[in-house]
Each structure stands twice: as C-alpha cells, then as structure tokens.
Amino acid sequence: MIKKITNKDLEIVNELLQNIDRNEKVSIDMLEHPFFNYVGYTIDEKIVGIIKYSLIYDRIEIDYIYVIPEYRKNKIGTKLIEHVIDVSTRKKNIKILLEVRRGNVVARKLYESMGFKEITIRRNYYGNEDAIVYMGGESDG
C-alpha cells in the first residue's frame, strides 16, 4: 500500500537509495521541506518502492522512483506514479514533469504506459547520454 515516508523510515529508505544513480540521502529536514514529497509502497509493512516528487506551485516534478529488484514487474512502479497523478488531478490537473536517461528503456516504458509524452531532449545531460523530458498528468491522455 501507499505510505508517506516518515522519520522512522529514514534508515531503510537511505539504504534503498544507495542503489539509485545519484547521491541522494534523505534527512529529516528534507522530509519536512515544503516542496518535497517522499512516498513509499509497502508490502507487509516493508517498504519495497519509493517515489520522490516535488510539488512547486503549479508543477509537479518526479525526481526519482525506485522499486527493489525482486519486487519489480508487479505494478508497484505504476501504483507510485498513479499516486502522483492523483495528486496532480486533485490540484486541478497541474502538469507532471520528469527527466530520464535515454538508455533507461524500462523506466521510459513505465512512463509511456502511463500516458507521459516526450517533450524535450536535453543533449548530453548525463555526460555522453541524453536526458529525455516527459510530461504527464491526468489531462494529457
């Protein structure tokens, strides 16, 4: 089930985040930050997936999503994105933006399966790899 990350979860969340492709460490200050939102997906109370999104006035940006490898392909990523789409709908259909490496075919398929559309390419954003910027949200279907 969907669960808001709290300071009790910080240790486990930071362990999970060691597997993502950036130096991200969540602190209590970040959990309390007015723009940042950390949401997990739990099975039997164990956090098996996490999404971070920023809600900045009239935009949502998905910063990252991660599902523990042995729990993948069970629609957990889909449920985490659906949660963010629900937030955007409740905020009167504000747009959701995200950016992903061109070569991350799995994540791109996930976003595209949820109606996200490619809007820009940031050439060589990751050194020698492009970033693809996607936009989604309830009103883009």
Ligand X SMILES: CC(C)(COP(=O)(O)OP(=O)(O)OC[C@H]1O[C@@H](n2cnc3c(N)ncnc32)[C@H](O)[C@@H]1OP(=O)(O)O)[C@@H](O)C(=O)NCCC(=O)NCCS
Give residues in contact with ligand X (CB under 6 A).
Answer: 20, 64-67, 72-78, 100, 104, 106-107, 109-110, 113
Which of 41, 53, 66, 111 is labelled catalytic?
111
Nearest residue to the partner ligand X, using Cβ: 77
Q: In the complex with ligand X, which residue's Cβ is closer, 52 or 138? A: 52
φ, ψ at 55 (rounded to 5°) = -110, 105
Q: Are 97 and 108 in contact (CB under 8 A)?
A: no
DSSP string, 36-68: EEEEEEEETTEEEEEEEEEEETTEEEEEEEEE-
Which of 99, 112, 125, 134 is labelled catalytic?
99
Q: Alpha-carbon distance 110 to 92, whole Å? A: 24
- Could you confirm whether 61 is annotated as catalytic? no
Q: In the complex with ligand X, which residue's Cβ is closer, 7 or 121? A: 121
Q: In the complex with ligand X, which residue's Cβ is closer, 58 or 70? A: 70
- Could you confirm whether 99 is annotated as catalytic? yes
CA 44 to chain centre: 22
| Active-site residue list | 99, 111
